[in-house]
C-alpha cells in the first residue's frame, strides 16, 4: 500500500508513488502555485538576522 501525503498547496491527499509526476503536489497547478510563491519570496530559508551571502567569505582557489 503506497504512502499517502497531503498536497502542500491545497491539502488534497496524494498517493506517494513513482507514477505521480507532480509529487508531493496533486497537480501541475499546485506545483506552479508553489513555484510562484518561492519566486515572489513568500517563502524564505531561515538564517541569522542580517546575515547575507555577502557576509560570508568566498573560497579562493589559487
Q: What's the CATH number where 11 sits?
A: 3.30.50.10
Instruction: Tell me how far apart the alpha carbons of residues 42 and 29 are, in angstroms, rounded to a whole number.
Output: 17
The tens digit of pLDDT for each residue in 17-60 reads 999 999 999 999 999 999 999 999 998 888 887 766 665 666 66
Q: Which residue has the higher pLDDT, 8 or 61?
A: 8
Number of domains in the chain: 1
Range of the domain at 20: 4-43
Residues paired with 13 in a beta bridge: 6
- Whether 25 maps to a domain, the answer reads yes
- Whether 22 maps to a domain, the answer reads yes
Task: Using a cut of 0.75, tell me whether the model's pTM lies above it.
Answer: no
Instruction: Tell me how far apart the alpha carbons of residues 15 and 21 are, in angstroms, rounded to a whole number.
Output: 11
- Whether 17 maps to a domain, the answer reads yes
DSSP 36: H
Residue 26 labelled as part of a binding site: yes
Residue 41 labelled as part of a binding site: no
The tens digit of pLDDT for each residue in 2-29 reads 899 999 999 999 999 999 999 999 999 9
3-state SS, residue 6:
strand
- Whether 53 maps to a domain, the answer reads no
- Whether 30 maps to a domain, the answer reads yes
Amino acid at each position: 500500500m503506497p504512502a499517502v501525503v497531503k498536497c502542500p498547496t491545497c491539502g488534497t491527499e496524494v498517493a506517494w508513488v513513482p507514477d505521480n509526476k507532480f509529487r508531493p503536489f496533486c497537480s501541475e497547478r499546485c506545483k506552479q502555485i508553489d513555484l510562484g510563491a518561492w519566486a515572489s519570496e513568500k517563502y524564505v530559508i531561515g538564517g541569522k538576522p542580517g546575515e547575507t551571502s555577502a557576509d560570508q567569505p568566498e573560497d579562493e582557489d589559487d
